[in-house]
Amino acid sequence: MDFFSGNRLPFALGLLLSSTATATAQSAADVLAPVRGQVTDAAAAPVPGAVVRWLGSTTTTTTTNNAGQFALPRPARAEASKLVINALGYRADTVAVATSGSPYVRVSLKPGTELGEVKVEARAPSYSSLTPTNTQVITARDLTKSACCNLAESFETNAAVEVSTTDAVSGAKQIQLLGLDGAYSLLTVDNLPALRGLATPYRLGYLSGTWIESIDIIKGMGSVVNGYESMSGQVNVRLKEPDKSERLLFNAYGNDLGKFDLNLNLAAPVSKKVSTVFLLHSDHLGRRVDRNKDGFMDLPLATQYNVFNKWKYKSDKGLISEIGVGALRETREGGQVDFRADEANAFERNYGFTGRTNRYTGFAKTSYTWPGRPYQSLGLLLSGTHHSFNSTYSYGQFLSGSTLRTTRAYDGTQQTGLATLLFQSVLGTTAHTYRLGLSYLHDDYREFFGSGIIYPTETAEQRYARQHRNRLENVPGAFAEYTYQNSRNLTLVGGLRLDRHNLYGWQFTPRLNVKYDAAKNTVLRLAAGTGFRVANPIADNSGVLLSSREFVIAPDLRPEKAWNVGGSVTQYFTLAGRPATLIADYYHTAFQNQVVADMYTSPTVLEISNLSADGRSFSRSFQTELQVEPVKGLTAKAAYKYLDVRTTYDGQLLPKPLTAPHRLFFNVGYATAFDKWRADFTVQGFGQRPLAHNPASMGHQHGSGEMELPYAPRFALLNTQVTRAFKRFEVYAGVENLTNYRQPNPIQSAAAPFEQAFDAAMVWGPTYGRLTYAGLRFRLE
């Protein structure tokens, strides 16, 4: 087993093996005495599921049982004297048998050679019909439909995941899945948990789009193998593989804001068994742009250097090993156009923000597959991360009716280590697969949050505890997962996790995924399970740091827990003789305990505490999507999404701020023969969304019932891109936000950023209007 392929291998094996388990009965008049025998491997171990048939016949077949034994009826033809035996992972063999009597045949199969690479030219459906989870795949081809400079821009032609801007100063973005913030969805890179914890605010900018081979979007509860933190779903990013990537890929990108990106991928075989890929990325924005003339830069000045190197060893005896190391350095500077971080008293003279991040990662994955038993394997997965950052914000303190210009700082360091030992095998046949494993998670968080505020009633020890948020987590755990797949229409995956958290005790995590093929082209899925997560209240709400709100965090926050139940129906059909897909899904996420950031109750304070004992917090998500290919080369998809996300804030059940209940999506793409020309057009429509205003704006009076919630207006974004491909390179150009729509006054009280009314975190629409870009890709296969 190759652990790097995720959860698909058990199902693919079960499907392939069980689909051959067909024996054709014949009448007694047409057969002689059956031939019996046993199929074993080179070590004399039985081979279950091997296919046995007569040479030249496709109807008279059987399969071996758990002991490798078989009984095959023999046609009444004298020439039927040779058996053909096939088994996955072995070389096919042909043996002669006696043409009379009741012979007993023993066949020893030799291990098979690795299958050669097969290139599939047809376009596979984006919604998988094989996985038990509701999984949508964004391919490398899909990623070229937009600029895709980083992971945040990889979802622009996808309806399942929304990407939102957290504020109008820092440029940070986050994903939303099922209407919940990105912190509730598990982000994995090559099926290893990654970019979590303190990296959450800016993590979508830490992966270059040119590094990505594909993205799997899983709604609902995923596998217990990947941990206990997923609540709304999982986004798995598959990076380029050393042995499959193009030898060279160079990408250059530039836009009219003055941002430039350069990417270089280099892959090479070091030997017959060893290969490597070197991934480089750099981007830079050095131009101060203020298109709406509010005195603030529309995007921060930013520079990033990012490098990643993967090595892969693949033996011919079942051993596969992969290691990788990466490093990132990024700087950001935002705020007012006149802000200069290197000037004396810069943060008091003008409103500004600076951030510096250093990140180092490494991983090692090794799997061993038993010779002659492709269904049985052992894997060890190790990963480690060091993530540190320093950030400073201008801040206005309000003392006795006067304003004091000062700064507040948020610095953090996270060191994470993760180890997983995983064993997989079958119970009798590959229809029954199980996985057992042990895991260990080490998280060391060191945070400093200082705003210069001194409360006269607190002691020095209390002030230190308020400003320093240190947490050490050590979590050993064990898990088991069972998969049943019959040969016709049912796949069931049940998993259990039991983890011992050093701070919060035992945590039990059950999960279930069921797939049922109701008809040939109709797939039903059901998912249910729980998730557990320790919140990082400042990092999870970093956008609010770009406001005048004071953070008030309740002591002794408890972990978040949630149940997620949902399902989907997928219908594959043909329209005008071309393939089409219709899918509808619904998921309900209910929090038993949530860390709630209350922006409603007080206009000058962000109160962060656990959900009250009688409070409720839930998300209801419904989406339907249609994908069609009316003519060859032309693809289109349209989707509608409804979100009902509500939380109890100080006794009132209110919708989550800045979450649009209604969203429309439409994308159409056309490609000429051999992809010489490609063009894509995307429309995203957003409904009204509730706002939480500062005191300068009229709006909701929490608890008074005097006024209704204020809502942002509806709007739509239109994006398009055209690509021209040549033999070894292609050029592309595009426009984002064709209509030049902009949110009026995205920064409240921009003219007085040190006053109480200042708020740059209430962003619901584009802040810089139309964006044009162009780029070049050059590749050598």
Q: In terms of domains, do 54 and 152 share one? A: no
Helix or strand run (H / E) with residue 18:
helix 8-18
Residues 94-103 pLDDT 10s: 888 876 666 7
Confidence at residue 8, expressed as pLDDT on a 0 to 100 scale: 42
Give the phi and the psi of residue 23 in degrees, each rounded to 5: -115, 130
Name the residue among 130, 74, 121, 129 with its Cα closest to residue 99.
74
Range of the domain at 456: 134-780
Q: How confident is the model at residue 222 (pLDDT cuts 50, 70, 90)?
A: confident
Query: Which range (317-321, 378-382, 498-502) has the least confidence?
Result: 317-321
52, 74, 108 — which closes off a domain? 108
Reported as a single tens digit per residue, the pLDDT across 116-150 is 444 444 456 688 888 899 999 998 888 888 888 89
* Mean pLDDT, residues 178-198: 94
CB 592 within 8 A of CB 561: yes
Please tell me the distance from the alpha carbon of residue 61 to that of residue 63, in angstroms, as a whole number. Answer: 7
CB count in 10 Å sphere of residue 261: 24
Burial track 95-134 (b if 16+ CB lie within 10 A, e otherwise): eebeeeeeeebebebebeeeeeeeeeeeeeebbbeebbbb
Q: CA 276, CA 267: separation in Å to the nearest integer? A: 6
pLDDT single digits (tens) 13-71: 343 333 333 333 333 333 356 788 888 887 677 888 788 888 766 556 788 887 788 88
Judge if 321 and 388 occupy the same domain: yes
Q: Closest by alpha carbon to 410, among 465, 467, 466, 463?
A: 467
Could you tell me if 413 and 461 lie in one domain? yes
How much is the pLDDT for 101? 64
Q: What is each CA distance from 281 to 80, 166, 421, 728, in whole angstroms?
A: 63, 24, 32, 21
> Residue 534 in contact with residue 543, Cβ under 8 Å?
no
What's the pLDDT at 123?
57
- pLDDT score recorded for residue 102: 66
Q: Same domain, yes or no, for 677 and 745?
A: yes
Between 286 and 115, the more confident residue is 286
How many C-beta neighbours within 10 Å does residue 771 have?
18
Task: Categorize the per-residue pLDDT at 707 as very low, low, confident or very high, splitting at 50, 70 and 90.
Answer: low
Tokens 């050029």 correspond to 731
- State whether 98 and 165 are in the same domain: no
Greater confidence (54 vs 164) lies with: 164
| Average pLDDT over every residue of 557-576 | 95
List the CATH number of the domain containing 77. Answer: 2.60.40.1120
Residue 129 falls inside a structural domain: no
pLDDT score of 92: 83
Here the CATH number for the domain that contains residue 299 is 2.40.170.20
* Same domain assignment for residues 84 and 229: no
In a domain, 648, yes or no: yes
How many CB atoms are closer than 10 A to CB 765? 17
The residue to which tokens 């409360």 are assigned: 455
Residue 70 lies in a domain: yes
Residue 457 lies in a domain: yes
The pLDDT value recorded for residue 611 is: 95
User: Could you read off the pLDDT of 686-703 as tens digits, one per residue?
Assistant: 999 999 874 444 455 566
Mean pLDDT lowest among 25-34, 207-216, 492-501:
25-34
**Do residue 245 and residue 103 come from a single domain?**
no
Establish if 326 belongs to a structural domain. Answer: yes
Q: Is residue 115 part of a domain?
A: no
DSSP result, 441-482: EEEEEEEEEE-S---TTS-HHHHHHHHEEEEEEEEEEEEEEE
Does a structural domain hold residue 751? Answer: yes
Average pLDDT of the chain to the nearest whole number:
88
**Is 416's pLDDT higher than 50?**
yes
pLDDT at residue number 10:
40
Contact (Cβ atoms closer than 8 angstroms) between residue 368 and residue 318 = yes
What's the domain count of the chain?
2
Residues 61 and 139 in one domain: no
Considering the domain architecture, whether residues 621 and 579 belong to the same structural domain is answered as yes
> With contact defined as beta carbons under 8 Å apart, do 31 and 75 qualify?
yes
Beta strands in 27-81 (DSSP E): 31-40, 51-54, 61-63, 69-75
Tell me if 624 is assigned to some domain: yes
pLDDT at 701: 59
What percentage of the chain has pLDDT greater than the value 90?
69
Cβ(571)–Cβ(642) under 8 Å? no
H-helix segments, 144-183: none
What DSSP assignment string belongs to 723-762?
EEE-SSEEEEEEEESTT----S-SSBTTT-TTSTT-BS--
192 lies in the same domain as 258: yes
Rounded to an integer, the average pLDDT of 198-218 is 94
Same domain, 605 and 747: yes
Best CA proximity match to 570, nearest among 635, 516, 511, 491? 516
Higher pLDDT, 229 or 47: 229
Q: Are residues 561 and 669 in the same domain?
A: yes
Residue 460 clears pLDDT 70, i.e. is over it: yes
